[in-house]
Structure 1
């Protein structure tokens, strides 16, 4: 023990130990998993990347909307595929992606918080109601600022898209087909 203490009194040994400690800290910091950028989803995001679709099943243009708390939620497109490359939450054999355009009404003067992930549900033709596994629409709506996003729903098997319905809250819904 006294030998270790005598070695620690030498300044060269202290410098070497400090360098070794810093080197270990650098190696550990580079080997840890990367965090997702906390700035993703802000209004000044760069152009979105191209999304890869695995086992595409079908898609349809909807362009129907519902108004919720003076905020228009327009379903623009519905797609079904085995997987989407930007979806890290894998669940179910297939994913139904509902693309939406959110437009605040003229009466919205202050930011409004809406938890879209708990607000929307997908109603299947058999009546089963599914919660989204992923929602990219930010939970805050700013006055006069439209935004686009999507909801991903995991489904156990292929489903026809036209009879699907997006339920918004308890009283509103958007039917995808005629």
Structure 2
């Protein structure tokens, strides 16, 4: 009786193990390399440093003194800036950006939600209404916790900031 022919292997079991380890090591390296990069901190208990915002082609800036109370939340619009770009603006929409800074204080005993982007409009000197594209301020306004932030509005042309008006919740502020 004939014995079956031995199957010939292309690589030895030892070489297969070594190749498997190399493939796994390359995969692990690739995953670690492509993951999120954490900012190094001096202390585990200190908050991370706030990045500096870089303004590209600043055109104009003006102080605002417009106030509005919405469901017990005091909102104060403090400043308007016009520039080509802000480094923390990840949603470009126009040739220029009008950034409106604001502060809020909740006088209620409950947390109030405020959708700043949908409630705020920029009224241009031409009368055109521009909807905000992004807000940095938290929509949840906690009792007794003041907060600050901004709303960005895309515009296509340089505009006179002193001629701007803000509309909040269908009320034009002056």
TM-score range, shorter chain: 0.7 to 0.9
- 1:25-76 Cα shifts (integer Å, max 9, x gaps): 32144236x4899xxxxxx954533222111111111132111111011011
Instruction: Tell me how far apart the structure 2 counterparts of residues 20 and 83 of structure 1 sit (CA, whole Å).
Output: 44
Structure 2 unpaired stretches of 5+ = 1-6, 40-45
In 1, Cα distance between the equivalents of 2:121 and 2:146? 21
Q: Indicate how the Cα distance of structure 1 residues 35 and 75 shifts in structure 2: closer, same or farther if over 3 A, else same.
A: farther
User: Which residue matches 1:27?
Assistant: 30
2:70 paired residue number: 68
- Output the CA distance in 1 between the equivalents of 2:38 and 2:140: 20
5+ residue gaps, structure 1, are: 38-43
- 1:67 partner SS: strand
* Structure-2 residue corresponding to 1:118: 118
- Corresponding residue for 1:160? 160
Q: How does 1:13-92 map to 2 (within 5 A)?
A: 13-14=16-17, 16-31=19-34, 34=36, 46-92=48-94
The structure with more radius of gyration: 2
CA distances 1:107-160 after superposition (whole Å, capped 9, x unpaired): x11222222221211111112111112210111010100000001111000111
Question: 2 CA distance for matches of 1:15 and 1:63?
Answer: 70
The two structures have a TM-score, normalised by structure 2, of 0.80
- CA drift of 1:174 comes to 2.5
CA distance in 1, matches of 2:103, 2:9: 68
How far apart, in 2, do the equivalents of 1:92 and 1:35 lie? Answer: 30
| Distance in 2, Cα, partners of 1:64 & 1:96 | 16
